[in-house]
């Protein structure tokens, strides 16, 4: 049986490390609405001493929390700790924090890849988290729910990876497409780069333009390949090209896969409907092409598809909000599963 939180009045204590970034702020926003959660502490070293509503005006009248400097003693009373820090930082924290029945959910990339050589190649540093990397559970709820229920440490998937994995896994698992050489092209809003101020992400540099980046070397490439291969049982390789577009939030992913066998739109609809019948946040509609505007500020992933029969190609499209389904919303979804709450609690 999986764990179910049975604390006093069911008010579970939660702390957020890295709470002043965009994902951390979205986490706080969701958790303040969660009926079974009390946000006890928020940590942000660069904003330590400031009130949350001083940094983000949308929290005025909702919380009196003040950002603190992280210490292990300060999180001693937490039942769940979210780490919303840049990749390379959680590896030093999570193994120590995921003790004494505390659950830890890392929104960064330190625990997503079991292959440490791949981590070194794509993240440009050594992963020093040791055995915690291998024991961490990859938190894609629609495909890994049973393992998440028992997990002490969850690696929240990347935003691009979420949009691709949910879209491509059913057809690879079913053997409908060639699993080698799948092309994934994604467009992302600027908030995916985080809250740091740089010239590259300024309005004047990004407005009225589109650019690809990290072509053939983005860290979500091995993450997508590993997750799809694990779930489908078929070794999968992809070519992934991310693009930055001048919107604040949202990811739009288009996948091109070569068909291995003839298939109809009706069969595809049945396959996706069956794959996500128990997934409250995946919306499949063969009659519609997904749009970013329909998923912004939600935890939904919208999926559509079209057949290019002349070329033997299946095109699958997905849209998510990179800060919600691609980060904070999915993290809370994982927490709900881990702690025995309704999966949609606080998110819908």
Q: Which residues are catalytic?
A: 159
Taking a C-beta distance cutoff of 8 angstroms, is the pair 250, 292 a contact? yes
Taking a C-beta distance cutoff of 8 angstroms, is the pair 85, 109 a contact? no
Give the Cα separation of 320 and 11 in Å (integer): 30
Tell how far CA 157 is from the center of its chain: 4
279-311 in b/e form (b: 16+ CB < 10 A) is bbbbbbeeeeebebeebbebbbbbbbbebeeee
Tell how far CA 224 is from the center of its chain: 12
Q: In what order do the strands lie in the sheet with 282-284?
A: 211-212, 238-244, 182-188, 251-258, 313-320, 301-308, 282-284
180: left (phi over 0), alpha (psi -120 to 50) or beta: beta
Residues facing residue 41 across a β-bridge: 15
């Amino acid at each position: 049986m999986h764990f179910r939180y049975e604390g006093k009045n069911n008010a579970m204590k939660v702390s957020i490390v890295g709470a002043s970034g965009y994902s951390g702020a979205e986490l706080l926003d969701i958790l303040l609405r969660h009926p079974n959660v009390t946000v006890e502490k928020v940590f942000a070293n660069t904003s330590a001493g400031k009130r949350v509503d001083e940094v983000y005006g949308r929290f005025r009248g909702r919380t009196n929390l003040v950002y603190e400097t992280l210490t292990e003693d300060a999180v001693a009373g937490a039942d769940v700790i979210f780490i919303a820090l840049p990749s390379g930082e959680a590896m030093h924290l999570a193994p120590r924090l995921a003790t004494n029945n505390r659950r830890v959910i890392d929104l960064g990339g330190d625990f997503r890849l079991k292959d440490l050589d791949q981590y070194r190649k794509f993240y440009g540093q050594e992963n020093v988290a040791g055995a915690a990397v291998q024991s961490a559970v990859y938190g894609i709820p629609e495909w890994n729910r049973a393992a998440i229920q028992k997990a002490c440490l969850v690696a929240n998937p990347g935003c691009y990876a979420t949009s691709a994995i949910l879209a491509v896994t059913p057809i690879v698992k079913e053997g409908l497409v060639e699993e080698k050489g799948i092309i994934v092209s994604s467009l992302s809003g600027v908030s995916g780069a985080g809250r740091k101020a740089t010239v590259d992400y300024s309005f004047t540099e990004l407005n009225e333009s589109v650019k690809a980046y990290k072509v053939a070397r983005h860290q979500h490439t091995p993450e997508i390949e590993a997750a799809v291969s694990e779930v489908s049982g078929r070794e999968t390789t992809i070519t992934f090209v991310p693009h930055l577009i001048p919107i604040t939030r949202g990811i739009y992913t288009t996948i091109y896969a070569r068909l291995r066998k003839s298939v109809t739109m009706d069969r595809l609809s049945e396959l996706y409907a069956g794959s996500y019948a128990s997934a409250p946040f995946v919306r499949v509609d063969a009659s519609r092409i997904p749009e970013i505007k329909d998923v912004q500020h939600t935890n939904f992933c919208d999926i559509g598809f079209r057949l290019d029969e002349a070329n033997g190609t299946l095109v699958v499209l997905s849209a998510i909000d990179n800060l919600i389904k691609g980060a904070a919303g999915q993290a809370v979804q994982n927490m709900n599963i881990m702690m025995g709450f309704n999966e949609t609690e606080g998110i819908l």
